[in-house]
Chains A and B, each alone.
Chain A
C-alpha cells in the first residue's frame, strides 16, 4: 500500500468514527434522515424552509437565499434502541426469543456555506444518508446466525453545492455527491450432520468486510418562497451505485470430532482471506415540501418524500476462492424492495427573542417486503414523534436540539425468503445536537 493510500485509509477510519451506522436508522430501509437538529425537531419537514446549512441535505436550493457565511456541525445520538424477536413455526418456532444488542450510534453532519455574490452561494456538506447496524445477542445460539448475527453498513457523503437565486424569491441548487461506504457481514456456516440424524451444526464463522469504496451522484433542488406566508420546495438526490471489494475470513468451529473437522477443513477456505466482491445501489430520493406561515410566529410544513428503494433488488456476494470453490460460496439474496414514501409534518413556534420550539411527526413506510425481513434487517413502517428547541439566530453561535421517539409497527413475518418466521418489535430514541456559527 502506498503512503498516500495509507493516509486516505486512515482518514476514512477516523471519519467512520463519526459516521458509524445507525440501528435502527431514522428513516425506513437503511436511510438516515436526521441531518440537522432544526429539521429533526420538525420530523424532517424542511424541504420548503431549508433555511439553515442542512439545506445541503434537505434542499440545496435553500443555499440560494444565504447572505452570510454559516457553519454548522452536529450529531444524532441514537440510543436505547431495542429490537426483540419472537419466533414462529415452521422455523425457528414458537418459544424462541432473541434480542439485539443495545448500542449507541452517532451519525454526524457538518456543513459550510459561503455566499459567492448576491445571487450565488457555495455550500459543502458532510453527512451520513445511509447506515445500518444489526447485532444479535448470543451469536452462538441465536437461531438466525446462519443468515446474519452482525451486519453493518457505514457511509458518508461529501457534497459540494451551488445555490443560485434566479429571482428574489426563487432559487435553485445543484450539487455533486461523493459517497464513501463500507459493508460488513458476520454469519455462521452450518451443515447437516449425517452422524446425528441430519441435524445442522456450526462449522465456521464467516466474516466479510469490504474496503471503503466511493460512488458518485448528484442532487438538485428548487425553492420558491412565494410570499411571506407560503413557500414550496422540491429536491432530488440521485441513485449512487457502489461496487465493493473486500475480504472474507473463515474461522473453523470444531465439531469435536477430528475426522469430521478434517473434512470440514478441506471443504472451506480456512487460513487465508478470500477475496469478495459485492455492491449496493443506494436509492434516489425526491422530496416535495409545502410550508405555511400560520402567523407571524408559527410555521407549519408538510413534506412527502419518495425513495427509490426498488434499486435494492438483489444482494450479490461473489467469492473469489483460489481453490476454485468460489461458486459454491457465492450468495445471491433476492431482496426485491419497493419504492417507498414517507410523510412529515413539522410545526415551529418562534418565541419573542428568537428562540424556537418545534414539534413533528413522521410516518415512514418501509420499502422492505415481508419476505425479505429477517435478522439482517427487520424493517417495518414506523411512526416518529419529535420535539425540538433552537436558540435565536441573531449572529454568532446558535444551537439546536431535537428528540425523536421512533416506534416501529410490529413486524410479523409469515413469508420469508430464508424461511425464518416470527415477529420483530423495535423502538429507538434519537437525540440530535447541532451547533452553528454565522
Chain B
C-alpha cells in the first residue's frame, strides 16, 4: 500500500492556523547580499511544475534541491527554504535513459518515492504545485491525493492563502504555463478547456497579485514561454524517417508525410513526443513503407492552426502578466524572450552550446517539457537579473558549474536524428501522458461536446466554471500523485 502524502492530522483549520502562525517565528536569517530595494526577509514562491523543479516526469528531491525558488533564495542570502520534498525515485518515478540502442526511455523504478517533510509545522516556502494553472493557485485546496495535496497538505487553504499566512515580504510568482500547455501536450485546442481564456486568467492573476502585494510585499512575475517550441512538440518530424539512417525517406525526391487524423501531415504540423511508441508500431506510417496505414490519433498531432491558436493565447496572457507586473510595481522576468533566444541560437556556456533539442540539447529533461537542472539554474538567473534591475539589487547569479560538470560518467553523444527516434516504453509513454495531465481524445471529445466549443462544462472545481483537463473522468489521467501509485 503506497504511503499517502496527505497528513490526516493536519486537516483542521484551527491546527492549520497554529501552523501558519508558527511560520512567522521561523524566519531564516539573511546573509549579507545587496538585495537593493527588495526585502527577502520572508520569501515565498508560487507556481507550477516549473517552479517545483519537476523534471523528467517526476518530482524528486535531487531536482527539488535546485528549484528556481530555492536557487533564488540561496543567492539572495535567504538560505534554504522549505519545500514539499519527495524521496528518490520521485513521484512518479523519474524517467531515465536506459538504452542507447535502441534509444529507450523508461521510469527508473516501479515504486514511487515518498514525501519527506509532510510534518513541517507551517506552510512551505515554495508552494509551487505541478499541474496547477493560475486560477488553481488562487482557488484550489485539494485534489484527492494529487500534487495539490502534496503541497497544500489538505489544510483547507489554497496556495495563495498559505503564502499570505507567511506574511511574505517578497513573492516569486510564475504561473500561466499550464494555461496553455494543456493544448500543446494534448494536441487539442479547446478554448476554455485546454487553453485558458484571457478574461478568467487576468481576473485570477490580478486577484492573486493584489492579495500578495497588499501587505507591501515586492515580487517578481515570470511570463510564459513559447510552449509549441518545447521538444515535446518539436522533436519528431512529420515525415517518415528511415530508422537505420535517421534521415527522411524520400520517394521521387520528396519526403513522405506521416498520416494524421485528417490525412497526410504537412510541414507545419508537429508530432508529439509520446507518439514515438505509436510510430514504433507502424501507426501513422503508410502501408507501402511498412506501416499499418492507420492514422495517428489527434492527441499525437499538433497542427499548424493549433500552434497559431496557442501562440496567440500565449501572447494575450503575457500581455496581461506584463500589465499586472507594471500596475503592481513588481519585476517581470521575461522568460518568453529568453527562451526565444535559446530556441533560436542556443545558450552557450563555457564554449558548449546548450539547445532546446531533445536529449542532446541539455536544456530539457526526458519528458521534453520540463528543464534539466541546468535549465532551471539558467532560468533562475533570468529571474535574478529581473530582480536586480527592478529593485536596484546586486544579487549574484547562480553558479552553473555544478550543473555543467555534474558528477556523471561517460558522454551521451547522440545525434539529433537519434534523439528524434527515441522510443518511450509503453510504460514511459503512459507515465509521460499522465504526469503531464494529457487526457485522451475521448475525454476531450466529451468535454468539448459538453461545453459546445466554448465555456461551461461539468468540472465544477475550476474557478472559471470549466472542467479541468487534468482531472477528467479517467482518474488515471487526473492525479499526478496517485496515478503512479495505482500503476504498481
Dominant SS among interface residues on chain A: loop
Are A418 and B351 also in contact (CB < 8 A) when A91-B404, A93-B400, A197-B373 are? yes
Of the listed stretches B323-331, B352-360, B462-470, chain A binds B352-360
Q: Which residue of B lies closest to A145 (CB)?
A: B351
CB of B412 within 8 A of CB of A194, answer yes
User: With an 8 A cutoff between CB atoms, is B409 at the interface?
Assistant: yes
**Interface code B336-350, partner A: CB below 8 Å = 1, 0 otherwise?**
000000000001111
Interface-side segment among A37-45, A101-109, A253-261, A339-347: A253-261
- By a CB distance below 8 angstroms, the chain A residues around B100 are 259-260, 263
B399 within 8 A of A: yes
Known: A195-B97, A198-B362, A198-B372. A144 touches B350 (CB 8 A): yes
Question: Which chain A residue shows the least CB distance to B361?
Answer: A192
Is the beta-carbon distance between A419 and B412 smaller than 8 angstroms? Answer: no
A267 and B415 contacting across the interface, CB-CB below 8 Å? yes
Q: How far is the CA of A375 from the CA of B401 in the complex (A)?
A: 17
**Of B352, B359, B365, B412, which is in contact with the most chain A CB atoms at under 10 Å from its CB?**
B412
- A89-B396, A90-B349, A198-B374 known; 6 new pairs, CB 8 Å cut-off, are A191-B411, A192-B354, A198-B372, A198-B412, A263-B414, A420-B349
Q: Is B366 engaged at the interface, CB distance under 8 Å to the other chain?
A: yes
| Cα separation A267 to B350 with both chains bound (whole Å) | 21
Task: Judge if B408 is at the interface, Cβ distance under 8 Å.
Answer: yes
Q: Check A417 for interface membership: any CB of B closer than 8 A.
A: yes
Residues of A within 8 A of B347 (CB): 419
| Chain A residues, Cβ within 8 Å of B350 | 91-92, 143-144, 146-147, 418-420
Chain B, interface size category, equals 35 or more
Q: A199-B407, A257-B409, A260-B413 are in contact. Are A92 and B401 (CB under 8 A)?
A: yes
Residues of B within 8 Å of A417, CB to CB, are: 348
Cross-interface CB contact of B411 among A89, A144, A148, A264, cutoff 8 Å: A264
Binding site for A on B (CB under 8 A): 62, 97, 100-101, 347-352, 354, 359-362, 365-366, 372-374, 377-378, 381, 396-415, 418
- Bound form: Cα–Cα A341–B266 in Å: 57
Binding site of B, secondary structure by majority: helix, strand, loop or mixed?
A: loop
Query: A201 contacts B401, CB within 8 Å?
Result: no
The chain A residues found within 8 Å of chain B, CB to CB, are 87, 89-94, 96, 143-148, 187, 190-203, 255-257, 259-260, 263-264, 267-268, 417-420
A203's nearest neighbour on chain B, judged by CB, is B411
Nearest chain B residue, comparing its CB with the CB of A374:
B351
Q: CB-CB < 8 A to A264: which residues of B?
A: 411, 413
Which B residues are in CB contact (< 8 Å) with A92?
350, 401, 404
Question: Min CB distance, B380 to chain A, in Å?
Answer: 9
Query: What are 7 A-B interface contacts by the 8 Å CB criterion?
Result: A89-B398, A94-B399, A96-B401, A187-B351, A191-B413, A418-B351, A420-B349
User: Closest residue of chain A to B405, judged by CB?
Assistant: A199
B407 contacts A203, C-beta separation under 8 Å: no
Decide: A199 and B399 in contact? CB cutoff 8 A. no
Residues of A within 8 A of B406 (CB): 193, 196-200
Contact partners of A193 in chain B: CB under 8 A:
406, 408-412
Instruction: Give A201's nearest chain B residue, CB to CB.
Output: B411
CA distance A52 to B185 in the complex (A): 77
